[in-house]
Structure 1
Amino acid sequence: MTDLKRTVLFDLHGELGGKIVPFAGYEMPVQYPMGVMKEHLFTRAHAGLFDVSHMGQILMTAKSGRVEDAALALERLVPVDILGLKEGRQRYALFTNDNGGIQDDLMVANRGDHLFLVVNAACKDADFAHLKAHLGADCDIGMVEDRALVALQGPEAETALARLVPDVVEMAFMDVAIRHWDSAELWISRSGYTGEDGFEISVPNKFAESFVRRLLDMEEVAPIGLGARDSLRLEAGMCLYGHDIDEGTSPVEGNLTWAIQKARRDGGAREGGFPGAGRILKELAEGPSRRRVGLRPEGRAPMREGTEVFAGPEGGDPIGKITSGGFGPSIEAPMAMAYLPADLAEGTTVYGEVRGKRLPAVIAPMPFQPNRYKR
């Protein structure tokens, strides 16, 4: 692990008994002594605290000083309505490439006079270079290097955070705000990647450990590792970049058309104008040949990433492949995502090949576990 980076909370993970593994170029806790299953269920019942400081935090300001100009600039790289994003709000976005594939998925917040982006850890250096190369003439773009990022997720997240920052109770899902705790400036969004209500909080490095300790001192808060983060997001039907979506996958194939607002398609005011628009708009109009779907394998055995999927119990070539799979502690059953022919309807039985045997799985709606955001 000598070449791997560490977050500012690394020593605390060790103190808490975290099992450290390499992830996206960092040494990160995959679990704590509670174990993945209990951490998952604790988050669903109470409030789990995740270190996501490995993610990239990027500030983007138009050289004109107008946030509208920064929004229009960013729209050159994403098929998302950024201009229509109101101050104090954020939305999910996608960097697309010239072939209509996805370079990364990210969150974009309008903070009044600039945009704040959160990108995936493994892609952050490439994303930053991509932004600088294409938008650097019009915008000042800076990677935030001196702040940690933590996610507090679960039905008791609001109760816990409100002890330190009382007015977070007024925030709704996808609201963003700058608030203060002690003398630290916190950048808070009411969002996360578990399907639960919760918050992501950017905190200056020098305050990060004391802030996290204050939260962990609360009985409803426990540290949660990457293992439970993965099972929580899979139950919530959310994509993991590099697995469920990648440079060869279009947003339409990825079942992410909800992220492409009308202003950017269907004759909208700013239709197209993003990389890969030809393919993406064509697939929006005509439908893709394959699509990301949910699968519920029968029985108890999970179907893992890479499992080939067939139309029948024997014979024939594979019709698709599983991109994420595991056991869902909350649904008490296995679950998976796969890319399958777009004409297959929910309720159709397909067969995943596990250790040489083809086992049945039913195409099912996602999320597998209902989302519980504060709208």
Structure 2
Amino acid sequence: MSDLRVTPLNALHRELGAKMVPFAGYDMPVQYKLGVMKEHLHCRAEAGLFDVSHMGQVILRHPDGVEAAALALESLVPVDVAGLASGRQRYGFFTNEAGGIMDDLMLANRGDHLFVVVNAACKEADIAHMRAHLTGCEVEEISDRALLALQGPKAEAVLEALVPGVADMRFMDVAIMASEYGELWISRSGYTGEDGYEISVPASEAEEFARALLSHEAVEPIGLGARDSLRLEAGLCLYGHDIDEETSPVEARLTWAIQKLRRAGGAREGGFPGAERILAELSDGAARHRVGLRPEGRAPMREGTELYAEAEGGTPIGRVTSGAFGPTIEAPMSMGYVPKDVSAEGTQLFGDVRGKRQPVTVAALPFTPANFKR
């Protein structure tokens, strides 16, 4: 435990009665006194506050301006970065030469520079990757700020009371705003399927800012447990589980994040690692697909469950990559990969649960509708 890093809110988590666990090298709250189920439902109904300070925050600058930085970044991601308007954010991913996903990320155009948020477990590798390949760019890791996520239908009213103007932001807008808690870097986005915000705050002000949010009767602290079930209900991938260095964006059904400009025939076709495989799969399809899965009964099919086409005999055709009970849908839910020919909604498959084949049906994603402010 002594080797674990801590976020600026560590003492507050303990004061609030959090159960702490190691996660991505950090001492993080997995749940609070409400428990995972109630935390999940509270976020869907009101507003939940998440500490995501373990994530990597990075600024990219180029002496020739933000467009030059964007074009440089396009050499590492299959995303239209140069076409991203100032004050807007976009989802993307680093790809490798084999067409797999090295990490997924959020990238924002903040006028004169790019702001990138990467996953905690990958941030050292991601920053080294950018420094090695983004010639001419300054890659600045931000280490003196916390990152909080305020999610749920009441997030707008709660944050607007502290930071007037955030209610005017749309989904995927970004802004830098002055506040009593220092300069806040705000995006209207999140990882729950709900409306909400991610807020970068100076580390020295983070606890006071978190206390101000938690003082609102609508807000409860939410741990990693509910964060996982919320994102799974929303059909969102967890890096290292649903996507990894062997999984292509086409297999993962993330093709919506690859704009036409970067596809075959586009103005900036290819030019990113793994383009040969990814462009071929965009044209011809992938052999397997990420799908939603609805097991029968009440027991979830967890990560690693092998999937079969038949109730008896045969060899595994796929595998579950995430699984949990969905408090909102009041049923178990999973995601996994199966061959294209059995990936249609309604297809019945079977999962091997403790040596017994249990029925599971291919289902639409997300499991619960998104509530973003468009």
TM-score norm. by structure 2 comes to 0.99
What residue identity is the alignment partner of 1:100? G
Contact 2:181 2:201 in 1 (8 A): no
Alpha-carbon distance in structure 2 between the residues aligned to 1:266 and 1:367: 28
What residue identity is the alignment partner of 1:88? G
Alpha-carbon distance in structure 2 between the residues aligned to 1:349 and 1:161: 44
> Which position in structure 2 is the counterpart of 1:59?
59
Alpha-carbon distance in structure 2 between the residues aligned to 1:151 and 1:50: 5
Alpha-carbon distance in structure 2 between the residues aligned to 1:365 and 1:271: 30
What residue identity is the alignment partner of 1:145? S
Q: Where in structure 2 are the equivalents of 1:1-20 lying within 5 Å?
A: 1-20=1-20
The structure 1 residue matched to 2:140, chosen from 133, 139, 142, is 142
**Cα distance per residue 1:108-147 (max 9 Å; x no partner):** 0000000000000000000000000001x31111000000
Alpha-carbon distance in structure 2 between the residues aligned to 1:117 and 1:62: 14
The structure 2 residue matched to 1:338, chosen from 336, 360, 365, is 336
Gaps (5+ residues) in structure 1? none
What residue identity is the alignment partner of 2:304? G
> Which position in structure 1 is the counterpart of 2:23?
23
Q: Where in structure 2 are the equivalents of 1:106-121 lying within 5 Å?
A: 106-121=105-120
Contact 2:77 2:92 in 1 (8 A): yes
The question of 1:99 aligning with 2:98 is answered yes
CA shift at 1:94, angstroms? 0.5
Alpha-carbon distance in structure 2 between the residues aligned to 1:269 and 1:297: 44
Match of 1:3, SS state, is coil
> Which position in structure 2 is the counterpart of 1:157?
155
Alpha-carbon distance in structure 1 between the residues aligned to 2:16 and 2:113: 37
What residue identity is the alignment partner of 2:242? D
Match of 1:163, SS state, is helix
Alpha-carbon distance in structure 1 between the residues aligned to 2:21 and 2:181: 33
What residue identity is the alignment partner of 1:5? R
CA shift at 1:180, angstroms? 1.3
> Which position in structure 1 is the counterpart of 2:238?
240
> Which position in structure 1 is the counterpart of 2:186?
188
CA shift at 1:266, angstroms? 2.9
> Which position in structure 2 is the counterpart of 1:289?
287
Report the count of equivalent residues: 373
**Cα distance per residue 1:83-110 (max 9 Å; x no partner):** 1100000000100000000000000000
Inter-CA distance 183–300: structure 2 relative to 1 (3 Å threshold): closer
CA shift at 1:342, angstroms? 1.2
CA shift at 1:364, angstroms? 0.4
What residue identity is the alignment partner of 1:255? R
> Which position in structure 1 is the counterpart of 2:132?
133
Match of 2:123, SS state, is helix
The structure 1 residue matched to 2:265, chosen from 260, 267, 273, is 267
Gaps (5+ residues) in structure 2? none
Q: Where in structure 2 are the equivalents of 1:351-362 lying within 5 Å?
A: 351-362=350-361
What residue identity is the alignment partner of 2:363? A
Alpha-carbon distance in structure 1 between the residues aligned to 2:351 and 2:157: 43
What residue identity is the alignment partner of 1:14? R
Match of 1:343, SS state, is helix
Match of 2:165, SS state, is helix
CA shift at 1:234, angstroms? 0.1
Inter-CA distance 12–231: structure 2 relative to 1 (3 Å threshold): same
TM-score norm. by structure 1 comes to 0.99
CA shift at 1:183, angstroms? 5.3
Alpha-carbon distance in structure 1 between the residues aligned to 2:354 and 2:125: 37
CA shift at 1:63, angstroms? 2.1
The question of 1:170 aligning with 2:133 is answered no
> Which position in structure 2 is the counterpart of 1:89?
88
> Which position in structure 2 is the counterpart of 1:200?
198
- Runs of 4 or more off by more than 3 Å in structure 1? none
Contact 2:308 2:350 in 1 (8 A): yes
Contact 2:30 2:225 in 1 (8 A): yes
